[in-house]
Amino acid sequence: MHTSHVTLGVSGPRVGPIGLGCMGMSQFYGPADRAGSIATVRLALDLGVNLLDTADVYGAVGAAADTNGFGHNETLLGEAVRGRRDRAVIATKFGARPSDDGRVVYDGTPAYVRSACEASLRRLGTDHIDLYYCHRLDPGVPVEETVGAMAELVTEGKVTALGLSNAGPDELRRAARTAPVSALQSEYSLWERGVEDEILPLCRELGITLVPYSPLGRAALTGRVGPGTRLDGDDFRSTLPKFSPGNLPHNLRLVDGLKRFARERGATPGQVALAWLLAQPYAVVPVPGTKRAEFLRENAAAADLTLEAGEVAALGALFAPERVRGGQYGELPVAGR
């Protein structure tokens, strides 16, 4: 993998150009494979993929909740990095938790910020979190209160750098006025471009690194999803508009163009999709998720694929937002406290 590292934000941790999303090791994308997942995390560190992305809620949503539960992914990651902690940059999130009635509740109260951090530290088996995100801002708590409580954790040495996930422009500005924000995690890929108009320019203005999740369009941009792909009820993608029976065949025709481009470059479609993100004129560190070593190797190698300006523009035009069918999410069962 390419050895160049980047600093998250102005003074956050230094990470490789591509990270590893760990959510799928605990929920949403098929059964968990504990041994395989741990081996994949350790391989990531060997390859220089040191930004490891998790959250306390991963494992507590969907069908996996029956067997995995809240904190499952953090516990798994903690085991994987044991003896290797100094090589890992651990990013985790708080604020989203399942309620008794099946919704996801957001809690950004200062007391919860502190208790959630303490619990994550225990599960991860570490004395500090390198990058601590608020998973979703609580609509009932001013962002200044939540971020202020997060900043106290930095002062105490329990957290190194702060981040937000899926925050809007106003929230991001208010957060940055309260404490230094190193990273914003939002969905961004060739086929999901909602951050381009406001969020990306604001991140550059504020000195914040964008950490795209689902940079491979939840595997659609890898070429491994076909028109006949059946998504069962346990697969989160079955709820997403881009994957609906009415939209997916159209969107996959755009992916066919990506496949042709990749063949001409001697790369995989997923590698081209990641290289396109890295070629953007912003500080961007994508965190493609996988639990399989072969896909990790493939993703990591994308850091060595350089696209010319004309290629970047052509790919962007191929997946222009008006050409992609379906929004980012369907209806989500979420609520404030």
User: Please, how many CA atoms are within 13 Å of residue 204, restricted to the half-sphere of its CB?
Assistant: 11
Mean pLDDT of 153-164: 98
Which of 67-71, 200-204, 245-249 is the most confident on average? 200-204
pTM of the full structure: 0.92
Examine the pLDDT at 329 and tell me if it is beyond 70: no
pLDDT (tens digit per residue) in 214-236:
999 999 999 998 877 777 666 66
Residue 220 identity (one-letter amino acid):
A
> In the prediction, which pLDDT does 234 show?
63
Is 58 a residue of the active site? yes
Q: How confident is the model at residue 68 (pLDDT cuts 50, 70, 90)?
A: low
The residue with greater pLDDT, 70 or 269, is 269
Mean pLDDT of 311-317: 98
The active-site residue, picked from 58, 112, 132, 213, is 58
> In the prediction, which pLDDT does 331 show?
46
Q: Taking a C-beta distance cutoff of 8 angstroms, is the pair 221, 214 a contact?
A: no
Q: How many residues does the chain have?
A: 337
Q: How confident is the model at residue 328 (pLDDT cuts 50, 70, 90)?
A: confident
The pair of structure tokens assigned to 131 is 């990058």
- Per DSSP (E only), the strands in 99-215 are 104-106, 129-134, 159-165, 183-187, 209-213
> In the prediction, which pLDDT does 208 show?
98
